[in-house]
Every structure is written in structure tokens, then in C-alpha cells.
Amino acid sequence: MAKPKPPTEGTPLCNVEHIEFESRANDIKAGLIDTFLNLQRIDTNLYIARHLLKGRHSYNAVYGGQVVGQSLAAAAATVEDCFIPHSLHSYFIKTGSVDKPILYMIDRIRDGRSFCTRVVKAVQDGEAIFSCQISFHHKEPDAIKHNSIMPVVSAPEELLPAREAALEVLRSRDVDEVTAGVIQHFLKEIPDAFERVFDVRPVNPGKYLLKEDTEPMSMIWIRARENLGDDNRLHQCVAAYLTDLSMLTTAVRPHIRKGFIPSMSFSLDHCVWIHENEFRMDDWMLYETVSSKAGGSRAFIEGRLWSRDGRLIISTAQEALIRAPKV
Ligand SMILES: CCCCCCCCCCCCCCCC(=O)SCCNC(=O)CCNC(=O)[C@H](O)C(C)(C)COP(=O)(O)OP(=O)(O)OC[C@H]1O[C@@H](n2cnc3c(N)ncnc32)[C@H](O)[C@@H]1OP(=O)(O)O
């Protein structure tokens, strides 16, 4: 039999031009269910996602967390249900566009008895935009057990949603012009669709909204506004999706307060460890993020996602690119 021809230079990895695409970037709820539970399989180890959310209102760039969540959904579709995702290590290679579908190509690296490993490549226009390795683990009994203590903070019911908190700051008389400008920009940049589906409540609105000086750390309560159903896999993918939300801004926020305006800011790599299988993203979760280092146009950020009853559900780590305008 004739050997298949090797691809010539410039040949796309997978051409998506013939694939019908109707962007539903504004319909996050449908997007969460369709892409995280019913991701469309187009061939063995090949999945397509048509629901893509912008990270920022004024750019057509795909929100990084969505590619993370969809990669997890695609990889999970290739393992038995008894295997539970426990870690994901990824690189954002190229900015994705919300105007085209993303193809997820899975490499089944190994199916072991206790662990399964997958490599996922996300492709748009024939070019890789994201790659990650995901490991799944068959449930095992506790050998040792401990859990750090969750920070003691105000309950979400005592706090305002981010937009309302921001509007309250803008209405107050003691906000300077620069801070007001930053808050207005922040309000404009949040994709409307995101707010329709998720409720985000900053634990310290004064610091979060830069009315006060802040350290490179942040805590937000977050939950989906509607019931997401009982499929653990959906809650895992939604959690992975949300982990990219406040990492980069945690590093930049204190410097913005001192007058720094980034000319470019992107997540570069992203790691997620899922410690527990059963949790609900339609219940309040506390996302705590801290940046311990920034320099050389990169910042390092770590995160912890806590369930309300004090379980450490997820740990994250990320490097972000944060550039100053060229002089
Ligand atoms: C009320 C409710 C509240 C809740 C609120 C919810 C919000 C709801 C979601 C929010 C979410 C937010 C958080 C999003 C966080 C992500 O989602 S970020 C998205 C994921 N990450 C990415 O897409 C990054 C993908 N990676 C890449 O694009 C590429 O790897 C990189 C990083 C650009 C590097 O590529 P490279 O080929 O090495 O290129 P490089 O030399 O760096 O040059 C790239 C460009 O930068 C330019 N450049 C170089 N230096 C500079 C400089 N100093 N300044 C400016 N440009 C420069 C170059 O000139 C070049 O421009 P072009 O020639 O392309 O026009």
C-alpha cells in the first residue's frame, strides 16, 4: 500500500474552513453544557467546539479558561468514566479567535490500570493555539489525609456582586479620576454573557476595585447563577474554565494602582490540580490567588479554589506575560 504523503510546508494540521460555524459566544450557558458535556466528536480523537467566549469585550480573542475547560472535556471523552481528571499542564501558544471553531486533537499517550494520560492539541486555522497534558486517576482510598485551613472571610451573602460594588464605588464621592477611569474600563471589558451566567463577589471590594492600595493577592467568591445539574464532569470542566479568571489580574492590579498600564497581558501557561471529584460550581466557591514574583515581563501566580465547607478542591499555577508599552 502506498505510504501517505508527508504534509508539505504550509499544509494546515487540520483545515477547518469547510466546517460550518455559527458563533454563540454570547450564550455561555449553552456553551458550557454543549462543549463541556456534549462536545461534538467529528472523528476518533477529534472534537470540535463552536462556543467560544471572549476574555475581554473589546478583543475577539478567546478566553484562555475556555480552551482549558474544553481540552479537559475532549480528553475526558476518550477515557472511561471511572477515571477522574486530577492534573492538567498547559501552554497557550497563540491567541485563539472567537470567530472560528476550535478543533481538539487527542493523543492517547497511555491507558494504565490506575492512571490514563492524554495530550490535547487545540487547533484553529491549521495552527496549534494551545497544548496540554492531562492525567486521569482511578479513585483510590485515602492513604494519608490532610487539608489546609481555608481563609476566614465574609460570607458571599454579605458582599456585593463585582459590578454592583464597582457602581457603588463610582457613585461615592471619594474616588479619584484615575481610579474611576480604571473601574469604568473594567466594567466595559467584562463580557456581558459572563455576568449573566456567573456571580462574582470580591471579598475586599476596595482593594479589588483599586480604590485602595493592594498586595498582589485577591479573593473572590464565585458560582454559576443557575443549577448546572448533577454531572461531576460538568462541574470539573466549569471549575477548570473559571481558574484562568483572576490570575493575571492578581499580578497586575497593585501596579495599575501605581499608574502602570500594560500594553499586552496574556496567560502563558496554566496548571490545574483537581484534588476532589465531587463539588458544585453552582454553590459558592472561594478563589484565592497570590502572585509571588513578577519580572522580565512575566508574572507567576498561584491559586486555591475552596468549597464553602473548607475543602481545598483545586490548586492552580500560572505564568502570565505582562508587557509595558514599547518606548
Ligand atoms: C463582574 C464580574 C467580574 C468577573 C470578570 C470576568 C471576566 C471574564 C473573563 C476575564 C478573563 C481575563 C483574563 C484573561 C486571560 C486570558 O484569557 S489570556 C488568553 C490566553 N492566552 C493567550 O491567548 C496567549 C497565547 N499566546 C500567544 O499569543 C503567543 O505565545 C505570544 C505570547 C504573543 C508570544 O508569541 P511570539 O510569536 O513569541 O510573539 P512576540 O515576539 O511576543 O510578539 C507578539 C506581538 O507582541 C508585540 N509586542 C512585543 N513587545 C510588546 C510590548 N512591549 N507591548 C506591546 N506589544 C508588544 C510584537 O510587536 C508582536 O506584535 P505583532 O507583530 O504580532 O503585531
Domain residue ranges of the chain, discontinuous segments joined by +: 32-138+159-323
pLDDT at 240 over 50: yes
Give the type of residue at 249: T
Pick 114 or 27 by higher pLDDT.
Answer: 114
In Å, what is the CA distance from 276 to each residue of 257, 272, 307, 311?
36, 12, 10, 8
Tell me the CATH architecture of domain 32-138+159-323: Beta Barrel (2.40)
What pTM did the predictor assign?
Answer: 0.90
Q: Name the pLDDT band for 28 (thresholds 50, 70, 90).
A: low
The sign of the dihedral angle between the CA atoms of 155, 160, 166, 169 is negative
* CA-67 nearest atom, ligand 1: 20
By annotation, the residues acting in catalysis are 244, 267, 318
- Is the minimum distance from the CB of 262 to ligand 1 under 6 angstroms? no
Which residues lie below 8 Å from residue 15, measured CB to CB, with a gap of 6+? Answer: 126
Distance 84 CA to ligand 1 centre (A): 32
Strand order through the sheet with 102-111:
40-43, 46-49, 102-111, 115-124, 127-138, 83-92, 264-274, 312-323, 298-307, 285-295, 217-224, 198-202
- Is the minimum distance from the CB of 64 to ligand 1 under 6 angstroms? yes
Distance 92 CA to ligand 1 centre (A): 10
Determine what percent of the chain is predicted with pLDDT higher than 70. 91
Distance 265 CA to ligand 1 centre (A): 5
Determine what percent of the chain is predicted with pLDDT higher than 90. 68
Q: Name the pLDDT band for 11 (thresholds 50, 70, 90).
A: very low
- Is the minimum distance from the CB of 117 to ligand 1 under 6 angstroms? no
What ipTM does this complex have? 0.90
| Phi, psi (rounded to 5 degrees) for 320 | -125, 150
- Is the minimum distance from the CB of 186 to ligand 1 under 6 angstroms? no
pLDDT of 138: 97
Pick 62 or 50 by higher pLDDT.
Answer: 62
Q: Name the pLDDT band for 10 (thresholds 50, 70, 90).
A: very low
Query: Quick check: 80 and 58 in contact, CB under 8 A?
Result: no
Query: Quick check: 294 and 287 in contact, CB under 8 A?
Result: no
Cell of 251: 499580578
Average pLDDT in the chain: 89
pLDDT digits (tens, 9 = 90+) for 138-169: 999 999 999 999 999 999 999 999 999 999 98
Lowest mean pLDDT among 97-111, 176-190, 231-245: 176-190
pLDDT digits (tens, 9 = 90+) for 86-133: 999 999 999 999 889 999 999 999 999 999 999 999 999 999 999 999
From CA 31, how far away is CA 214, in angstroms rounded?
Answer: 34
pLDDT of 25: 52
Q: Ligand 1: which residue has its CA nearest to atom 45?
A: 264
Instruction: Give the number of other CB atoms < 10 A from CB of residue 2.
Output: 4
Q: Name the pLDDT band for 285 (thresholds 50, 70, 90).
A: very high
Which residues lie below 8 Å from residue 178, measured CB to CB, with a gap of 6+? Answer: 259
pLDDT of 42: 92
The residue among 280, 282, 290 whose CA lies nearest residue 311 is 280
* CA-129 nearest atom, ligand 1: 25
pLDDT of 8: 45
Instruction: Give the number of other CB atoms < 10 A from CB of residue 111.
Output: 14
- Is the minimum distance from the CB of 202 to ligand 1 under 6 angstroms? no
